[in-house]
Amino acid sequence: MLGRWNEALGYIEDNVAGEIDATELARITLTSEYHFRRVFSALAGMPLSHYIRARRMTLATAEILDGVGILDVASKYGYSSSDAFTRAFRQMNGLTPSAARRPGAVLRSQQAVTFHLTIEGRSTMRYRIVDLPEFHIVGRKTRIPLKYQGENTAMTEFHQSLKPGTGQALTAVADVPELPEILFVSDGFEPEREDGSLFDYYFAVASSTHHPEWDSLRVAPSKWVVFEAQASESFQSALQQLWADAFSEWFPSNPYQVVPGPELLTVTEKSADWTSGRGELWIPVERG
């Protein structure tokens, strides 16, 4: 499995100056394009498109330093004009191509990524596979920025804005026994899921029927992987770490791939200050 991922990285390197077909990357790794993008971002620490742009500019910069004309370099690496190339060059390096040729110029480069097997797993992840029938996510929704670490203030403000009694009103319509009553739902992500990009966030429950008085989202019959988290301190950090561990450790080691759909976070126990507790992360999957 690891060899196929490195083969895909080789394909990127071989085609970085031209068109890179994401469906070919999925074919090489025997996954879907959606799954490839999600796992790549977790393993590489950046979205696929960001990595490709950075590698392309790294190689283009070397040609600029060799004295190749700006227009020739721009054309080779797929930029529509020398101005477009110069803007991208400045964005990565903080100076223009002409300035980069001056003695003492400090430039940035994106090294080629390779994936290596780590013998010692950082953690043993507790999980289970669950099949759910069609259900509806029912609750209150907002669209907020994604934040991978630390407090998401937009999320906090949304919770503070909810009317008193919202949770009790929602639990009255929760009737999917496999799921805990209150769900914290993430959906509608922007394609690259970069830190700061927007997504739909629901404070909700799962119901077998649609309730028009609430914001709702229909979820088709699905298979889910459910990861467990438990912490006696830094519980919020442990919940955030679930996503990182799922995509960087569990998915590369198991014959499942993520499919588009909402991701559900549940909190089954917690202290008043959120320093300790238990929770679960539900991600829709299919057998690879």
Nearest-CA neighbor of 283 among 51, 46, 34, 49?
Answer: 34
Q: What are phi and psi of 109, to 5 degrees?
A: -140, 150
- Would you identify the CATH topology of the domain 127-287? Multidrug-efflux Transporter 1 Regulator Bmrr; Chain A (3.20.80)
pTM value is 0.76
pLDDT, tens digit, 9 for 90 and up, residues 50-97: 899 999 999 999 899 889 999 999 999 999 999 999 999 999 999 999
Identity of the amino acid at 165: G
Determine contact, residues 179/266, Cβ cutoff 8 Å. Answer: yes
Structure tokens of 228? 């467990």
93-144 per-position pLDDT tens digit: 999 999 989 888 888 888 888 776 544 444 557 889 999 999 999 999 999 9
Environment class of 108 (CB within 10 Å of its CB; exposed 0-12, middle 13-18, buried 19+): exposed
What distance in Å separates the CA atoms of residue 123 and residue 250, rounded to the nearest whole number? 10
What are the extents of the domains in the chain? Answer: 2-100, 127-287
Task: Give 183-216 pLDDT, tens digit per residue.
Answer: 999 999 988 888 889 999 999 999 999 999 999 9
Maximum C-alpha span of the chain? 70
CATH dotted code for 2-100: 1.10.10.60
d(Cα 230, Cα 208) in Å, to the nearest integer? Answer: 29
Q: Which of 116, 105, 107, 102 is nearest to 54 (CA)?
A: 107
Q: Are 10 and 233 in contact (CB under 8 A)?
A: no
